[in-house]
Structure 1
Amino acid sequence: ISSAIHPDKFEASAILEHLEERGEFPLVHFTNPSGIDGLDTTPGKVTLASNVFADRKRISRALGLRRTQYRMEPALEYARRERERILPEIIDPKDAPVKEVSHVDAYGHVDLRRLPIMHINEMDPAPYIDMANVMQAPPEDVDEFGHEFYNIAFLRTQYKGPDKLGIHMSPRHNHRIVNKNWASDRTTKVAIVAGHHPSFYLGALTLAAYGVDEYEIAGGMMQEPVRLVPSETWGDDFMVPADAEIVIEGEIPPHELEAEAPFGEYPGYYGPQRMRPLINVKNITRRKNAVLQTVFAGHRDHWLTGTLPQEGSRYNALKIHGRIAGLTAIHHPPSGCGRFRAYLSIDKKAEGEGKMAGLAALAAGDLVKHVIVVDDDIDVFNEEEVLWAVSTRCRVEEDLDIIPGAKGNTLDPTVRPEYDNKNAKMIIDATVPLEYAYPARCSVPDHAKEEILSRWDDLIDQNSLKRYRELE
């Protein structure tokens, strides 16, 4: 879109929502956006991209697959790349595209207003950057694990001024890093990567255990080393991606909190306002003509951003590293926001395997709260088939299990604040029982279908079929 727009005035979001209401999810590149309060983005020009992940077929292309390979294929490819990590590569700063512009050098100070940051949803109190944040393991964890490592995670950051952001963290790896630093009154270094190859961001969403260097996982996703370069603020003590579009370097001071949110989150609801840490921005480096990427939060772009990493990482946890050898497919449907619900198909050999698969899926991460397990004759990417299996194979009195008091997610609107993030989980075993002969599914003979398919063009009036497809 080449027309001038003001992303901080909801104009980019309004365009994306109009497209979504039409069932259209293109990657949208706004080539003439203003910065906050109408400021320009010189030197060079910073443009804006969103909806990058809103199409599963486009995500397949980001992994080098064909658009027709969008079902289990990208999940299996993600799982393979997650296992095959690649060490990062350190390069000279003069060869790093992200060093082409430095705010401190260009303006003498940092100014977030010179980025086209989106005001996304109506009740958001300010524009937000909602891309990957890089943090470094604290000294205690370096000693415990025996090596240095970086954690990468999508974290929302609220614009609070030209050199200040608020940050929300769920209680996971980055939260652990900040808390350990605060326990020793240390600041936490953070780099926000606001634009990179889509596969870099897929790597940032891994469910890998704490202690893994996630620059290595991102390298596996990209199928090449993540090129790193010393940061402007801390030099060799903190490395940042050399090929990023934009890197925002900042520090989280210990024990300082301000109100953050409400913010439209992936469940499609606003997360509540809470007291959250701050980031004091020290520098912004970028390409001269950089593209700031933003996830369209609370919408399909947001749902599918998390879907594939959940599928691939959970496939590794269950089938490769776990004990669910009969797992054949896994899908996190958009109807579950790409996170809350998982559909698993298994090659069932014994009673109880459906429940075991469900338990393993829940244990592999805290986001999933509903697991439906089906036989491998059910296509988990066809929600109608999955629900048909629930309707015709699930004996509720035996096949539905509810696990109360499990760890939930702070952004789940069904988690009551007084329950301290606890929530119930549910497993539905919709597999065919093996204790007795179950009725066979209706089907047309394969030989008849094959014979008819060979004469399809002669049998079917294509004009009539076209008129049918055009009916409203």
Structure 2
Amino acid sequence: MKNKDKIPVHDLRSALELLKTLPGEYVETFTEVDPHAELSGVYRYVGAGGTCQRPTRKNGPAMVFHNIKGFRNTNVAIGLNGSRKRVGHFLNCAPEKLGFLLKDSVKHAIAPVDVSTGNAVCQEVVHLATDPDFDLRKLLPAPTNTEEDAGPYITMGLCYASDPQTHESDITIHRLCVQSKDELTMWLTPGRHIDAFRIKAEAAGKALPISISIGVDPAIEVAACFEPPTTPLGFNELSIAGALRGRAVEMVQCKTINEKAIAHAEIVIEGELLPDVRMQEDINTHTGRAMPEFPGYTGEAKAAIPVIKVKAVTHRVNPIWRTTLGPGEEHVNMAGIPTEASILDMVERAMPGKLLNVFAHSAGGGKLLAVMQFKKSSVNDEGRQRQAALLAFSAFPELKHVILVDEDVDIFDTDDVLWAMQTRYQGDIDTITIPGVRCHPLDPSQVPEYSPFITQQGMTCKTIFDCTVPFHLKTHFERSTFKEVDVKRFLPDFE
């Protein structure tokens, strides 16, 4: 399909319609599936990829389940952002240029706008928590990803809240567990903006209104994953999604709380983060486990985390639930492409034209590992590649490892990156370690029991692997050059 003929994407449904026109990018099933462990178990094989338990399939299709056990008239979609190629289709961009697209979108942000409740499809159907039969567990087909999870999890909920003092708003994705008929627990990693809003509200003894929009335009799902310093406190990431689409994201006033939600969402949960209320995350199962997270391990259930008291659920007629697998390639793309944009922006401002591209690698879940393609043009550039790596750690604080490669290495081809490491790297002189730095608490190796140099959970030794050729030796490391030919002369259908 030619670009001009492509279905324009503006919400989840149009994104699915686009995928249906692209060979190999969409599958569906009408066989009944149990949301308890079975649904995620199926998609692990079909297309999860990322850091999921092997065997799994990288770059498999997105999938829709039409027959969810216990839930009539609700479908479940998973894996839409599960390949860079699909994200490229959604954003009309070559997959290898997505980081540059997002970098530029931050600079051309378009603020969201409000629409009337009559124009918001997310409020076609309204369920109030005051209704006697209201029960989140019967309304929401939130999957339990494994049989040891703390409970059903909302993994693709776009959480929207506002600073109670400045009224600046933020949107992000958090781990939400369905705990009762009208309660969710919310785990917020330290430093997240909504947690800063919650702390302010709690200090004043007030609840923090929060909306959770589920099933939205993939551009919003990706934009919401930007983090400081690229998007500092007070920067609404919805404006990045506006830039990606060339028009503002439409918001609507919630029915029961003083907050807004994404107007085109399939489902919206309205609630309040309660002050001074905490709940054990696995209070219903006592497994000690939460859910599978991006590094490929199941996170521990937290002993006491904030609680959202739900006031209402609104949705479209016959809504589509949106979910993802924590360790899957979908997380890699949603977290990783904004990471790439942040690194590209910071390094370009410091040393223009030297960093050619960045890949937030699948093995790090889009967060822990970056491969940086650096060009040395003269002997004066020697060492600047390592400065670029240091800037990357500043651009994205949760980054753990950087692999530096030359311009002739394909950063999206792991075999090529590892080839550079085998032939252009000496461990004793090309390894730079930075111990005692704060990173991401979900990395299980970042605990004092693992290393005597780690004093508390969430600290790490950040490492640069410099796999670039010393400039004065470049002529000794030239790859074998093959003749350029037109393969289609011999294989007309060759892609």
| Conservation of the 8 A alpha-carbon contact between 1:7 and 1:116 | no
**Preserved CA contact (<8 Å) 2:37 2:143:** yes
Matches of 1:455 and 1:268 in 2, distance apart?
40
Partner of 1:8: 35
- The alpha-carbon distance between structure 1 residues 292 and 322, as it changes in their structure 2 partners (threshold 3 A), is farther
Name whichever structure is richer in helix by fraction.
1
Name 1:83's counterpart in structure 2.
Answer: 107
Q: Any idea what the Cα deviations from partners look like across 1:251-302, whole Å, max 9, x if unmatched? A: 1111211112522101110111212111111111111121110012222333
> Is 1:149 the counterpart of 2:168 in the alignment?
yes
- For residue 125 of structure 1, the aligned residue among 142, 146, 150 is 150
Q: In structure 2, what is the Cα distance between the partners aligned to 1:456 and 1:130? A: 44
- Alignment partner for residue 224 of structure 2, among 204, 213, 222? 204
Distance in 1, matches of 2:391 and 2:486, equals 44
- Look up the match of 1:442: 479
Tell whether 2:245 aligns with 1:214.
no
TM normalised by structure 1 equals 0.86
Letter of the aligned partner of 1:79 in structure 2? K
Alignment of 1:260-271 (within 5 A): 260=281, 261-271=289-299
Q: How does 1:60-459 map to 2 (within 5 A)?
A: 60-65=88-93, 69-70=94-95, 72-104=96-128, 107=131, 110-112=134-136, 113-140=138-165, 142=166, 148-172=167-191, 173-207=193-227, 208-234=231-257, 237-260=258-281, 261-274=289-302, 275-319=304-348, 321-323=349-351, 325-349=353-377, 350-416=381-447, 419-435=456-472, 438-444=475-481, 449-450=483-484, 453-454=485-486, 457=489
1:394-450, Cα deviation, whole Å (9 max, x unpaired): 2333321111111111111111166142111001222221245651423236xxx13
**1:368, CA displacement in angstroms?**
1.1
Of 68, 79, 102, which residue of structure 2 is paired with 1:33? 68
Q: Distance in 2 between matches of 1:184 and 1:322?
A: 42
CA distance in 2, matches of 1:454, 1:272: 54
Q: Shift in Å at residue 54 of structure 1?
A: 1.4
Conserved? CA contact 1:327–1:345, under 8 Å = yes
Rounded Cα–Cα distance in structure 2 between residues aligned with 1:212 and 1:434 = 41
Q: How far apart, CA to CA, are the structure 2 residues paired with 1:150 and 1:220? A: 17
Secondary structure at the residue paired with 1:254? strand
Q: Which range is displaced more, 94-103 or 322-331? A: 322-331
- State how far apart, in whole Å, the 2-side matches of 1:33 and 1:317 are: 45
What corresponds to 1:470 in structure 2? none
| 1:454 Cα deviation from its structure 2 partner | 4.7
Distance 2:268 2:350 in 1: 37
Flag the structure with larger Rg.
Answer: 1
Question: Which sits farther off after the overlay, 253-262 or 362-371?
Answer: 253-262
CA apart distance, 1:455: 8.0
* Superimposed CA distance per residue, residues 112-153 of structure 1 (whole angstroms, 9 cap, x where no aligned partner): 12121111123212110012443433234x1xxxxx321111
Listed as ranges, the gaps of 5+ residues in structure 2 are: 1-27, 48-54, 282-288, 449-454
Q: Distance in 1 between matches of 2:270 and 2:133?
A: 13
- Give, in whole Å, the separation in 2 of the partners of 1:414 and 1:238: 39
* Contact residue 129 and residue 312 of structure 2 kept, 8 A: no
The answer to whether the 8 A contact 1:132-1:201 is kept is no
Give CA-to-partner distance per residue, 1:131-189, whole Å, 9 cap, x none. 2443433234x1xxxxx321111101011012111111111222222222222222122
RMSD over aligned Cα, in angstroms? 2.4
SS of equivalent to 1:139: coil
**How far apart, CA to CA, are the structure 2 residues paired with 1:6 and 1:103?**
25
CA contact (8 A) 1:192 1:248 kept: yes
How far is the alpha carbon of 1:340 from its aligned partner? 0.8
Query: Which segments of structure 1 move beyond 6 Å, counting only runs of 4 or more?
Result: none
Distance (Å, rounded) in 2 between the aligned partners of 1:48 and 1:454 = 44
Superposed displacement of residue 329, structure 1: 0.6
Q: Residues 30-80 of structure 1: CA distance to partner in whole angstroms, max 9, x if unpaired?
A: 11214xxx2x45xxx221111112122111111023xxx32x222222222
CA separation of 1:324/1:456 partners in 2, compared to 1, >3 Å: closer, same or farther?
Answer: closer
Q: Distance in 1 between matches of 2:174 and 2:129?
A: 27
Contact 1:135 1:188 in 2 (8 A): no
Query: How many residue pairs are counted as aligned between the two chains?
Result: 437
Q: TM-score, normalised by structure 2?
A: 0.82
Q: Give the AA of the match of 2:364.
A: G
Secondary structure of 2:235's counterpart equals coil
- Distance in 2 (alpha carbons) for counterparts of 1:394 and 1:324: 25
**Secondary structure in structure 2 of the residue aligned to 1:121:** coil
Distance 1:436 1:62, change over 3 A: closer
Instruction: Mark the runs of 5 or more structure 1 residues left unpaired by the alignment.
Output: 143-147, 467-472
Q: What secondary structure sits across from 2:476 in the alignment?
A: coil
Which of 74, 79, 91 is the equivalent residue of 1:46?
A: 74
User: Identity rate of aligned residues, in percent?
Assistant: 27
Residues 202 and 221 in structure 1, CA contact (< 8 A), matched pair in contact too: no
Distance 1:331 1:437, change over 3 A: closer
